[in-house]
Structure 1
């Protein structure tokens, strides 16, 4: 029931309960014509507040307070139902960036009640798993579903939360699907050097995760293109490390052991042992 139909529906319900005709409740059309009133009951026209209160006042059989409370109750129910997928998506993103696992779980319950929007449900699964550090424990069938449907919207490569989720879910996405998704990112950000530095940082991080995963999976599809994108990052200090790692992965894929060792030694000398251990694991 739409909100603009609630009052009309409630008037119709009360009128029938009291055994009144439309002529009776409108006092033979003296308050409002029977034809106009009929349109209000059927949700075609909205009722004026003055007309509503005149109807309630002149029909002593109607309990005005009870009538208004029921209308208020119906409005509240309708507001609860109006929580749509977009609002839930925004809440999920907020909890994701706030590292709020409990909040994300609560939103996921609401998302799971939606009849449709499989993509949002899958993003909720990834979000909760990432926050809970259980991404690798996701069921194999769900992993397959994520690979096929989690990034199916036409504009996912332009959404910050979708990009971050893709980066975090890289290790569970099918090795044949990840390069296809990466190709979409490469196409969207082919002009990477002209982008805002924050966007460059975000996309270059995704590129490095893709290169790392590709090397582990021993796949090379879209690897050269990804390395090329890293080469074209701006000469900004905050991007230097990602550019160096791009060169590291290029050397790794080419089997240039001497160049690989140089960068690994540089990382050791720079007291980046933890990062290096993760890189080599």
Structure 2
């Protein structure tokens, strides 16, 4: 279940406020409040906030007190389930279900701002490749993504980066991808979870670089990183798609056709349909 610190953090991020802005009317230091949000334990005692201060804090930021406390009893696994289903929906290319999940997530005050932005991006990508996404939303997501200098190590920021590529400024996209490549060049020293995340970003980047932005910048580096991954059942599909793009760049239609046919025969029909590129055009 959500604890008070986590719930406060979710509410603050949903309003896009800094901790200092959030505490403007409350007599609590930023350092003390940061400990509350993060659940820091000192001398065997967990940082907490008094009930009177909590009510004042919620009221000063126009947070519905009743809804806030009801969310504390909500099972956090439901948020995780929504996130996992969102990922599956994206992989299946189900635009209708993605939009349904987006609407559920946006009204769920227990969902993080990152998950809400991710739902918006995925629904927009499946609907019309983000063509209908307004610039204001794009700017908000960009500000959220890069608010930290160490965004390249942040799981949520990396997920959002991967989903927002089709609508990014090309120079910004290349600069950010350069950071990713530099940080994860020695990819096999990281955990499987990190390797899956970064290889997905590389696949997304190669597709957008070649077919959306028409640039070769960091494409070889991205493909090389995918090539370094272990040849096992975890990364096999990523390596096959990476090889497909490498064959495309080399003009090897014969092997492209074979790979696409293999994917179709193995049941990856949606993926195969997105690999239908004619290099003669």
TM-score, with normalisation over the residues of structure 1? 0.58
Distance 2:270 2:105 in 1: 31
Number of the residue aligned with 1:11: none
TM superposition shift of 1:264: 1.4
Question: Structure 1 unaligned runs (5+)?
Answer: 5-70, 84-90, 112-119
Larger Rg belongs to: 1
Matched, 1:254 2:250: yes
Matched, 1:126 2:126: no
Contact in 2 for aligned 1:205/1:242 (Cα 8 Å): yes
Contact in 2 for aligned 1:157/1:188 (Cα 8 Å): yes
Please point out which of 259, 265, 268 is paired with 2:264: 268
Contact in 2 for aligned 1:105/1:128 (Cα 8 Å): no
Contact in 1 for aligned 2:145/2:151 (Cα 8 Å): no
TM superposition shift of 1:176: 3.0
User: In the comparison of the two structures, how many residue pairs are matched?
Assistant: 196
TM-score, with normalisation over the residues of structure 2? 0.58
Q: Determine which structure has the larger helix proportion and give its number.
A: 1
Larger RCO, structures 1/2 (Cα 8 Å, 6+ apart)? 2
TM superposition shift of 1:129: 1.1
- Relative distance call for 1:270 and 1:155 in structure 2 (3 A) is same
Q: Deviations over 1:117-171 (max 9, x none)?
A: xxx7xx577334136x135121135435655763342111111111111111122
Task: Give the aligned CA root-mean-square deviation in angstroms.
Answer: 3.6
Please point out which of 49, 55, 78 is paired with 2:57: 78
Please point out which of 155, 160, 165 is paired with 2:155: 160
1:1-281 map, 5 Å: 1-2=26-27, 76-78=55-57, 97=83, 101=102, 102-105=104-107, 107=109, 126-130=117-121, 133-135=123-125, 136=130, 137-140=132-135, 142-143=137-138, 146=141, 150-217=145-212, 218-280=214-276
